[in-house]
Amino acid sequence: MAVRHTWRTKDGLKTGELTQAKAIRLKCLDCSGWNWKEVELCPVKNCPLWPFRFGKPSKAKGAA
Ligand code: SF4
């Protein structure tokens, strides 16, 4: 389910449709300095968002 929302981006605020998966991807980007490579390499495996940081459950090593 998508909702209309306003969120922070590296270029300022953006308003649009937001799904739960997109919200997680955006939060991880925010947390990682807007750098996808840093999201990919995130070492904080005990973060509740870690398995979902690509917008779907991860099959990466270390995921539950
Ligand atoms: S998984 Fe957690 S710590 Fe890692 S980038 Fe996402 S929000 Fe930040």
Beta carbon of 28 within 6 Å of any ligand 1 atom: yes
In a domain, 58, yes or no: no
The span from the CA of 5 to the CA of 15, in Å, is 6
> What pLDDT, in 10s, does the model give residues 27-59?
999 999 999 999 999 999 999 999 999 987 766
Q: Is residue 43 part of a domain?
A: yes
- Distance (angstroms) between ligand 1 centre and the Cα of 21 equals 13
46 domain-assigned: yes
User: How far does residue 55's CA lie from ligand 1's centre (Å)?
Assistant: 12
Q: What was the pLDDT predicted at 60?
A: 57
- Name the residue at shortest CA distance from atom 1 of ligand 1: 50
Helices (H), the chain: 20-31, 36-40
In a domain, 57, yes or no: no
Provide the domain count of the chain. Answer: 1
Distance CA 35, CA 7 (A): 17
Q: Could you tell me the pTM of the whole model?
A: 0.86
Report pLDDT digits (tens) over 9-29: 999 999 999 999 999 999 999
Residue 35 located in a structural domain: yes
Structure tokens at 31: 């947390």
| CB proximity list for 47: less than 8 A, separation 6 or greater | none
Domain range for residue 17? Answer: 3-51
Residue 54 structure tokens: 């690509």
Owner of token pair 């495996």? 45
